[in-house]
C-alpha cells in the first residue's frame, strides 16, 4: 500500500480516528494491573510473573471454542476486589481505548459479574464504573457511553434487578441495554419483557446473537427484543431472509474479527463473511469485543480487515460512519458525531488510487 497522501493527514491505521461500539469492560482489563491485584490478594492463582498470569486471563493456546473463551471471564471476576479496584480498572479501560485513537466508545459491562465474588450492591458497582468512566472520558478527551449487559446464563431474577439499575441511570452515563452469554444453551425469550421496557424508555438495544448459535437468534433479537444492533450476528449470512430483515430494518452488526476466530465462529480470518455483508449492503461496524482477553487493539482489527480481507479505505471509512450512525446517542449528538467523523475521514485518495495507508504488521 502507498503512503498516506497529503489530503487525509494520517500515515498509519493507528492514526485513524476510530469508533468502538462493542467492547466489554471485563475483557478490557490492563494485564499489569491484574498482575498487581494477583500479587496483593489471594486469588487462588500461582503467578510469579506477568507471563504466568497471561494464560489464565488471555486467549493463547486455547481451543477455538466459545466455552474456552468464556472460562477467562470466570477467572477475571475474582479480580474485582474493592471499589477502588473497580474504579481503576474502568478508568484504565477508557484510557487504553483513547491511546488507540478511539474517539467514541461504547463500553458494556455486567454489574453482576463485578459484584458477584465480593457481594457488592449492583447499584454501587454501576455507580463506581460510571464515575470512573466519566473521569477518564474528561481526562483523555474521549466520548464514552456505557451499556449494561444482562447475561443469559445468570438467574433471571437477577437480570430484572440489573435492568432496574440500568433504567434508573439511563441518560446519566448509561445509554443502552445488552444481552450476552451462552446463546447455545440459553434462549433469549425470557428476557423479552425487560427489553420491551428498555425500548419504551428510549434506551439503545443491542443483543449478542448469531455468533455461537444459528441465524435464528438474530431474528429473535430483532423481532422479540427490539434490537437496534446485533453483537456479532455474522451467522445471519446463513439465512437470506434474516439477512434481508437486518438490511431492511437498518440493524447494525457489531463485527469483532479476532474474537470470531478465537471462539470458533470462523475457522480462518480469510473466510470471515465481513466483506460479503458489506457487498450485500448490511450496516457493518468493526469492533474489538475483548481487547485484553484477545490481545488486540482496534488498530489490529482495522489492519486485519485491510490486509487479510482486502477491505478498501472507502469501505473502512463506511464502517466507521456506520458506527457513528448506530451510536446510542440522542439525535443531535449523533448528528454531531457523524459530522465530526465525516470531516476527520475524508473520502480522498492519492492520485494513483491506492489506499492512503502504509501497511502495519498484524500480531
Grid coordinates given for 259: 474474537
Q: Please pick, among 183, 211, 220, 301, the residue that the annotation labels catalytic.
A: 211
Q: Which residues pair with 149 in a beta bridge?
A: 178
Q: To which residue does cell 493456546 refer?
A: 61
Is 74 tagged catalytic?
no
Q: Which residues pair with 285 in a beta bridge?
A: 254
DSSP code at position 263: T
Q: Which residues pair with 230 in a beta bridge?
A: 207, 253
Contact 41, 81 (CB under 8 A): yes
Give the helix ranges, DSSP H, for the chain. Answer: 31-40, 50-57, 66-76, 83-99, 111-115, 122-140, 156-168, 192-201, 216-224, 240-249, 257-262, 274-279, 291-294, 298-307, 313-325, 331-344
Q: How far apart are CA 337 and CA 339, in angstroms?
A: 5
Provide the 10 A C-beta neighbour count for residue 262: 26
Grid coordinates given for 18: 476510530
Q: To which residue does cell 488471555 refer?
A: 58
Residue 343 to residues 317, 320, 338, 340, 356, Cα–Cα distance (Å): 11, 12, 9, 5, 16
- Torsion angle of the four alpha carbons 22, 265, 258, 363, in this order, in degrees rounded to the nearest 10: 170
- For the chain, helix, strand, coil in percent to 5 are 50, 15, 35
Active site residues: 211
Amino acid at each position: 500500500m502507498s503512503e498516506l497522501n497529503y489530503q487525509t493527514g494520517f500515515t498509519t491505521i493507528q492514526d485513524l480516528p476510530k469508533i468502538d461500539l462493542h467492547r466489554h469492560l471485563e475483557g478490557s482489563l490492563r494485564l499489569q494491573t491484574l498482575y498487581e491485584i494477583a500479587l496483593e490478594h489471594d486469588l487462588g492463582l500461582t503467578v510469579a510473573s506477568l507471563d504466568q498470569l497471561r494464560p489464565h486471563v488471555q486467549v493463547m493456546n486455547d481451543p477455538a471454542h466459545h466455552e474456552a473463551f468464556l472460562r477467562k471471564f470466570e477467572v477475571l471476576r475474582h479480580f474485582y476486589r474493592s471499589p477502588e479496584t473497580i474504579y481503576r480498572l474502568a478508568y484504565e479501560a477508557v484510557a487504553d481505548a483513547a491511546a488507540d485513537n478511539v474517539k467514541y466508545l461504547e463500553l458494556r459491562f455486567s454489574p453482576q459479574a463485578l459484584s458477584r465474588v465480593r457481594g457488592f450492591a449492583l447499584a454501587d458497582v454501576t455507580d463506581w464504573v460510571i464515575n470512573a468512566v466519566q473521569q477518564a472520558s474528561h481526562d483523555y478527551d474521549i466520548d464514552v457511553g456505557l451499556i449494561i449487559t444482562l447475561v443469559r446464563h445468570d438467574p433471571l431474577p437477577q437480570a430484572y434487578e440489573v435492568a432496574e439499575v440500568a433504567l434508573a441511570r439511563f441518560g446519566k452515563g448509561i445509554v443502552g441495554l445488552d444481552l450476552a452469554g451462552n446463546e447455545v444453551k440459553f434462549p433469549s425469550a425470557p428476557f423479552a419483557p425487560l427489553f420491551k421496557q428498555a425500548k419504551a424508555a428510549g434506551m439503545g438495544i443491542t443483543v449478542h446473537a448469531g455468533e455461537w448459535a444459528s441465524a435464528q437468534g438474530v431474528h429473535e433479537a430483532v423481532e422479540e427484543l427490539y434490537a437496534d444492533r446485533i453483537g456479532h450476528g455474522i451467522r445471519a449470512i446463513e439465512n437470506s431472509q434474516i439477512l434481508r430483515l437486518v438490511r431492511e430494518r437498518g440493524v447494525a452488526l457489531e463485527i469483532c474479527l479476532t474474537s470470531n476466530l478465537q471462539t470458533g465462529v470462523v475457522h480462518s480470518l480469510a473466510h470471515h463473511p465481513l466483506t460479503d455483508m458489506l457487498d450485500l449492503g448490511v450496516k457493518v461496524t468493526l469492533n474489538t469485543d475483548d481487547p485484553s482477553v484477545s490481545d488486540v487493539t482496534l488498530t489490529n482489527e482495522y489492519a486485519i480487515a485491510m490486509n487479510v480481507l482486502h477491505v478498501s479505505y472507502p469501505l473502512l471509512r463506511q464502517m466507521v460512519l456506520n458506527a457513528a450512525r448506530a451510536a446510542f446517542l440522542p439525535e443531535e449528538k449523533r448528528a454531531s458525531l457523524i459530522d465530526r467523523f465525516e470531516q476527520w475521514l475524508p473520502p480522498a485518495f492519492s492520485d494513483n488510487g491506492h489506499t492512503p495507508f502504509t501497511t502495519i504488521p498484524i500480531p
